[in-house]
Chains A and B, each alone.
Chain A
C-alpha cells in the first residue's frame, strides 16, 4: 500500500489540491494500479531499447521565416488576470514586499 505521505507528496508535485477524501481514494487507486502493473516489471527487457514513438519519422525542419502571428491583445484575452500587457500571477518569490 502506498502511504499517505507519498500521496500528499505526489499531489504537491502535480500541483493538485486534494481533499482528505481524495487523498484516501487516490491512495487506494494508486495501490491498485501499481499492483495491476506489477506484471510489466517481470518482463525481460534487458535487450530492448525504449520506444517513445512508434513510427520512425525523420525530424523535419522549417525555414526560419517570420510568419503571421497572433496579436498580443488576443493572446492575453484568455487570461484570468492581465495587466499592462502581461499575465499577472500571485507572488512567486518569498521575501520582502
Chain B
C-alpha cells in the first residue's frame, strides 16, 4: 500500500487509473468468483475523481486518499444497498454510514462495492448466501470460507487492494486462511460496531483483510479508536503502524497450546505451522508448550451464545420499518410470513436454537450455563498470558473444503474450532498465510495476543511474513 501511496503522491498514477484497474479486474474475475454482491462503478469513479482533485491541490486527506476498498455487505453504506446476503434485505438502502465507513471516507478511500457473505454472517463458507456461493480463487471447486468469504476472495484475486470483514467466531480469519491473505479480528471494542449489522453483539468485531501484514496494519490504524456512537467501544485505543523491528522476536515467549495440534488437524497444515514456529525459534523466540484445555467447550459455548444473541438481534426484521414484507391478516401473521419467507435455512435454524436456549425452563441450563463456561474459557486464556506473550496455532484444521462437502450443520460449525476462542475471550487474533498444501491451497497460521496487544502480534506476523516469503 505504501507503494500505491507513493505512486499517487508522485503523480505517477491517478486514483481514477487505480479504480479503473480494479474495476477491470472485477469485470474479469467476477463471473467465476462471485465475491461481490454490489459493484458501485459510478460512486467509486466519482470518489476517485474527487481524490485526484485533492492530490492536485495538495489537499489530500491522507496518504491513502484515492486507494479503493471493498466492504463486507453487512456494513452499512449510505445510499448503497446493504443486503447481508439475505432476501429480507435485498433492496435495503441504509440512511447512514457505519462509523468505520465514515472513517474510510474521511481518509478518501473510494468504495468499489460490497462483498458476499453467509446470510447475516452465519456460516463458514458463503454457501448460506442468498446471492450464491463465492468460489475460492485457488480452486474453482472449493469454498472461499466464510462468513467474510467475498472480502477474502476479492483481495486474493486482486479485485481490491484491501477489504473489511466482520468476525464473530472466525469469519475474517478462516476465509483469510482459505484464500491466502492476512486477516485480523481486533480486540473486542477496539473498532466501532456502529452501523454494522449485528449477529452476536458480544462477539462481533470489524477488521481488515489485505495481501500483506503491513497493509492490514495500515487499514487497522484507520479503523481503531473510540466511537461515542458505540457504547462498547474502548477508550483511548487508537493504533499506529509500528516501526518494524526484528529485534523484538528475540526472547519473545510463544505459547503453543497442545489442544490445537491434536486430532482432526491435517498433517500438511501442522507441518507448515511448525515450520513457521521453527523460524521464530531460530531468531531467538522461546516456544512455550501450554494447555488451553477449555477449548474443547469453545464451539458449544460459542454456538449457544451466538444463537441466543442472533435470535434477539434479528427480531428487528419484521417487515415494518425496512426490508421486505409479506402481507397477513393480522400483525403476527404478517411478521411470521415475512420472516419465514425472507430468512434462509441457516438463519432460521439459528433463530430457532437461540429462541430455545433463551426460553423459560432452558435459560439456566443452556444460555446461562454457556456464559459461565465462557468465564472458564476467558480465565484459561488469561492464565496463558502469564506464560506467553503470544499464542500461535493453525487458523483452521484443514485447507479450503469443497463446495457442498459439509452438509451437516454441526460439521460446518467445526470450521471455527481454533478461532471461536478469541471471540469468546475478546482477544485479538490474526491469520497469516504460512505456505500451501500439496494441492496448492493456502494454509493459515493464527497469532493470538492479550487484549489490546495488536502491535506485538503485528510485529511477529511481519517478521514471519518476511522470512516465509524469503524462503518460498
B369 near A33: Cβ-Cβ < 8 Å: no
Q: Does A55 contact B (CB under 8 A)?
A: yes
Residues in A whose Cβ lies below 8 Å from that of B330 = 90-92
Complex Cα distance, B95 from A89, in Å, reads 22
Which residue on A lies nearest to B300, using beta carbons?
A37
How many chain A residues touch the partner (CB < 8 A)?
51
Residues in A whose Cβ lies below 8 Å from that of B328 = 90
Residues in A whose Cβ lies below 8 Å from that of B369 = 40-41, 43, 45
Residues in B whose Cβ lies below 8 Å from that of A45 = 369, 372-373, 375-376
Which residue on A lies nearest to B307, using beta carbons?
A33
How many chain B residues touch the partner (CB < 8 A)?
74
B378 near A90: Cβ-Cβ < 8 Å: no
Q: Could you tell me which residues of chain B, from 192 to 224, have a CB within 8 Å of some CB in chain A?
A: 202
Q: Does B319 contact A (CB under 8 A)?
A: yes
Complex Cα distance, B349 from A29, in Å, reads 8
Q: Could you tell me which residues of chain A, from 38 to 97, have a CB within 8 Å of some CB in chain B?
A: 39-41, 43, 45, 48-55, 57-60, 62, 70, 74-75, 77-81, 87, 89-92
Which of B113-121, B339-347, B391-399, B456-464 forms part of the interface with chain A?
B339-347
Residues in A whose Cβ lies below 8 Å from that of B318 = 15
Q: Does B415 contact A (CB under 8 A)?
A: no
Compute the total of residue contacts between A and B using a CB distance below 8 Å: 173
- The answer to whether residues A54 and B303 also contact, given A75-B95, A80-B324, A87-B320 and a CB cut-off of 8 A, is no
B93 near A78: Cβ-Cβ < 8 Å: yes
Residues in B whose Cβ lies below 8 Å from that of A26 = 348-349, 352
Q: Does B311 contact A (CB under 8 A)?
A: yes
B348 near A57: Cβ-Cβ < 8 Å: no
Q: Does B140 contact A (CB under 8 A)?
A: no
- Interface membership of chain A positions 1-37, coded 1 if the CB is closer than 8 angstroms to chain B and 0 otherwise: 0000001001111111110001001100110111011
**Interface of chain B: mostly helix, strand, loop or mixed:** helix
B343 near A16: Cβ-Cβ < 8 Å: yes
B301 near A55: Cβ-Cβ < 8 Å: no
B351 near A16: Cβ-Cβ < 8 Å: yes
Q: Does B359 contact A (CB under 8 A)?
A: yes
Q: Could you tell me which residues of chain B, from 235 to 292, have a CB within 8 Å of some CB in chain A?
A: 235
B325 near A80: Cβ-Cβ < 8 Å: yes
Complex Cα distance, B356 from A16, in Å, reads 13
Q: Could you tell me which residues of chain B, from 281 to 317, have a CB within 8 Å of some CB in chain A?
A: 296-297, 300-301, 303-304, 311, 315
User: Which of A11, A13, A15, A40 has its CB near the most chain B CB atoms (within 10 A)?
Assistant: A15
Q: Does B27 contact A (CB under 8 A)?
A: no
Q: Taking the nearest CB of chain B, how far is it from the CB of A47, in angstroms?
A: 9
B426 near A48: Cβ-Cβ < 8 Å: no
Q: Taking the nearest CB of chain B, how far is it from the CB of A32, in angstroms?
A: 6
| Sample of 26 A–B contacts (CB below 8 Å) | A14-B355, A17-B341, A29-B349, A29-B352, A39-B297, A40-B300, A41-B365, A43-B297, A43-B369, A45-B375, A48-B376, A49-B372, A50-B371, A50-B372, A50-B374, A51-B374, A52-B371, A55-B426, A57-B232, A60-B231, A78-B321, A79-B321, A80-B320, A89-B320, A91-B330, A91-B331
Additional pairs, 17, CB under 8 Å, beyond known A36-B300, A51-B378? A13-B359, A16-B339, A17-B333, A18-B340, A18-B348, A22-B345, A33-B303, A40-B300, A45-B369, A48-B375, A49-B375, A51-B371, A51-B375, A53-B202, A54-B425, A57-B234, A81-B325
Write the residues of chain A forming the contact surface with B, with a CB cutoff of 8 angstroms. 7, 10-18, 22, 25-26, 29-30, 32-34, 36-37, 39-41, 43, 45, 48-55, 57-60, 62, 70, 74-75, 77-81, 87, 89-92
